[in-house]
Amino acid sequence: MMAQYLDIKAQYPDALLFYRMGDFYEMFFDDAVNAAEALDIALTKRGKHEGEDIPMCGVPVHAANGYLLTLIRKGFRVAVGEQLESPAEAKKRGYKAVVKRDVVRLVTPGTLTEDALLDARRHNFLVAYSELRAGAALAWADISTGAFHVMPVAPVRLSPELARLAPSELLVLDEPVYQRLRPLADEHKVPLTPLGKSSFDSVSAETRLCELFKVGSLEGFGSFNRAELSAMGALVDYLEITQKGKLPLLQPPQQESEDRVVQIDAATRRNLELTRSLSGEKFGSLLSVVDRTVTPSGARLLEQRMSSPSRNLDVIHARLAALDFCVDQSAHSAQLRDALRKTPDLDRALSRLALDRAGPRDLAAIRNALTQAEAIAATCDDMELPALIAQATSDLQGFDELLELLDAALVAEPPLMTRDGGFIAPGYDSELDEARTLRDEGRSVIASFQQKYAEHTGITSLKIKHNNVLGYFIETTATHAAKMLGEPLNETYIHRQTTANQVRFTTVELSEIETKILNAGNLALEIEKRLYSMLSGAILEQSARLNLAARGLAELDLLTALADIANGENWCRPRIDDTRAFNVIGGRHPVVERALRQQAGESFVANDCDLTAQDGAAIWLLTGPNMAGKSTFLRQNALIALLAQMGSYVPAEDAHIGVVSQLFSRVGASDDLARGRSTFMVEMVETAAILNQADDRALVILDEIGRGTATYDGLSIAWATLEHLHESNQSRALFATHYHELTQLANKLPGVDNATVTVKEWEGEVIFLHEVRKGAADRSYGVQVAQLAGLPPSVVARARDVLDMLEQSSREGTGGQVRIDDLPLFAAAPPTQPAAPKGPSPVETLLEEIHPDHLSPREALEILYKLKETASK
């Protein structure tokens, strides 16, 4: 057995081997040591290898999913080695024959399908990246849903795309690409898996893809370049390796391009907290506030749309038209949501079925999903529907025959596993019903045979009994032997045994029923498994249409969820066009608004923002104190643009937005110590990315550029950045700063306007009004904010003194005009007054009188006591 284990393990040196032994998956040697530590389970030993004990640990098969999830999250890959035959079959080859085992699946982060291992409301993307001389491309798939996409991508765009997709695993060509991309993979916290050159060969990839989709050419799916073929081929090759030939039910590849969606880099996604907060949790993100979907597929579609807002006006308008219908028909939308709540995850049930990892509950999930789909489609009959909803409801119909089959075949609540049996409904298959009757009611069947034979022979004392030698037999007393052995009964009753007082017989019918009773349990299970395969085949035959139905359910869920938040939170329909307009009236930050309402019972102060520009830049230079809401104002306008272009209503009274091509954010302070970057360096890298990439259709929000360095350095960088945005990028931008000197640029640059967040001083305290108005702030109120934060009063007082001195010395001429000039050195704090001089202390006087060289040990001890006594006084 250990020789078999080592042979299998040698094929998967980089994975933990789950070696099936009965009801446990066992691990040995280093695998056991690593797994025991990772899973916090007992490490034991069994047998010896080369004279040393063999470390061993194991996990129960029925609870393996939980352990697999822990191992995958800790960065392990797991090869699952199953028994391919029963011990009884193995013994036919010899008494000491080892049960055949082999790996049936390699479990990696990007190839999970079980509900217990996945977040139902998020995609689990496996991504392949290929670089060829002709270009580079990304291919990604979620094998738990069948989604399959590909797009060309410039190498410099790889990081933003990884941020958008948030993959669970990234496949790349082995050296040197693997080493080059490791820092990027670490930055995005995605496991990197190297593959050989053969996996990325574009010629064999085309053949591989044609075989997968059973087509002679891929032209029907699109025109793919060599890099795209290479990436798709590598992904499919990896799936063949990990799934051991059982390929998932991948949908035909959908070709995407960078110009179809808003470009958002990793820093902007992080700063805006789109799908995850800065702490890495969903709570506190935009997604957590907007997500009112009631199905897992709807939640996945929402995250996908939020991560990839569209730039296509036709797509945006179609989504908004469908959303208008759901908003106006609120009662109908509520009815749809009630039906959708009862709809299982059709996508993932279908995928598990294709991979042969499904169970009876997946069949029931597909049946229940189709039942709800039929009900949902029926509610839309005789209604004038927008195109998007009409298409979705159309895709939900046409499954009558399949639904009828599943309804007739399955019980209402089937068991989890096929081996448990009992999932086929009574009355569906007569052979199965008979086997179940024999299994469950064997005694009553034998009793009916006994009554039948007693009536046939006329012997009322006839009995049917059982023993281990004869099995079931008919027994009569010896007085009836002659009758039973004579004609015509001897033609039916076959003599088996005669004892002193009884005669025993059997019949062909009784022998057959005995065999059936003894094998009824196994027979019933085998019949159910056969019927399960038949039902699975019937479902998979319609997999393409079922995928469309799943997409239709997700679309309806997302639309009704967005309608629910639009009606409930008083969001407005945005006007989206191809101009360079950006005019938001009464805009609000949805996350902050909810937090204020839930935590403090306060209302959010709405603000306008007009960055409309025909030609050139449109920039608001925003000044005002800390804690007044500048960062919130910046973020809320970026989020409003994003929500509008994903096809949602927005938190505002009115919004007119010209299509945004790129969304850039430089907000907040952070460092990257692992890569040797200070806070200021990170700030400059992010700012450089914006200035080098932003075009005139971009929306840029910048907060406190230059604050991480010396005053003049920071001011000069902020000044030059603002000028570059205005002159070169010509973007629509919000630029928040504490450098009030920059407000002078509004007089110099025609596209720059000053705006400020207002405050009010009352009895020495500052009150934040959170209102954005045109104009410039005259101060930042930093000392007041420091006081609110709890700095010691002495520090606050000293800060006021220094501030007064700096403000006075930095003004020159008349009118109090602030001039950019060398700031004076900080005045030193008043020194502490020295204490008045005093005479020598008694201890010092006593020490002066001591001459150590003249002291005996006894005298030294007495002086020590005297010194202590004097010091205590």
- Binding residue positions: 624-631
- How far is the C-alpha of 463 from the C-alpha of 485, rounded, in Å? 16
Q: What angle do the packed helices 346-354 and 543-569 form, to 10 degrees?
A: 160
Residues in the chain: 873
- How far is the C-alpha of 421 from the C-alpha of 414, rounded, in Å? 9
CB 519, CB 434: distance < 8 Å: no
> Six-digit token pair at 369?
């999903």
Which residues contribute to the annotated binding site for ATP? Answer: 624-631
Would you call 754 helix, strand, or coil by DSSP?
A: strand
Q: What angle do the packed helices 346-354 and 296-307 form, to 10 degrees?
A: 100
Cα–Cα distances (Å) from 841 to 677, 862, 867, in that order, read 56, 20, 12
> Cβ–Cβ contacts within 10 Å for residue 302, how many?
24
> Cβ–Cβ contacts within 10 Å for residue 554, how many?
27
Give every strand in the sheet of 135-142, ordered side by side.
192-195, 169-173, 126-132, 135-142, 147-152, 254-255
Element (H, E) at 442: helix 442-457
Cis check for the bond before 488: say yes or no (omega within 30 of 0). Answer: yes
Q: Which residues of 838-860 are buried (b: 16+ CB within 10 A; e: fewer)?
A: eeeeeeeeeeeeeeeeeeeeeee
> Six-digit token pair at 241?
């390796």
Count CA atoms within 13 Å of residue 446 on its CB side.
21
> Cβ–Cβ contacts within 10 Å for residue 736, how many?
21
Q: Cα dihedral angle (622, 625, 628, 633), rounded to 10 degrees?
A: 20
Q: Which residues of 634-654 are buried (b: 16+ CB within 10 A; e: fewer)?
A: bbbbbbbbbbbbbbbbbbbee
Look at phi and psi of residue 337 and say left if phi exceeds 0, alpha if psi is from -120 to 50, else beta. alpha
CB 398, CB 544: distance < 8 Å: no
- How far is the C-alpha of 694 from the C-alpha of 721, rounded, in Å? 12
* Closest to 146 in 3D by CA, of 547, 555, 556: 547
Cα–Cα distances (Å) from 133 to 127, 137, 154, 614, in that order, read 20, 11, 12, 40
Would you call 655 helix, strand, or coil by DSSP?
A: strand
The position carrying tokens 């030059």 is 720
> Any residues with CB less than 8 A from the CB of 516 and at least 6 apart, and which?
434, 435, 438, 523
Written in H, E and C, the secondary structure of 144-197 is CCCEEEEEECCHHHHHHHHHHHCCCEEEEECCCHHHHHHHHHHHCCCCEEEECH
CB 507, CB 318: distance < 8 Å: no
Would you call 774 helix, strand, or coil by DSSP?
A: strand
> Six-digit token pair at 302?
């929402």
DSSP 100: P
Helix and strand totals (H; E) in the chain: 30, 27
DSSP 491: G
- How far is the C-alpha of 64 from the C-alpha of 58, rounded, in Å? 10
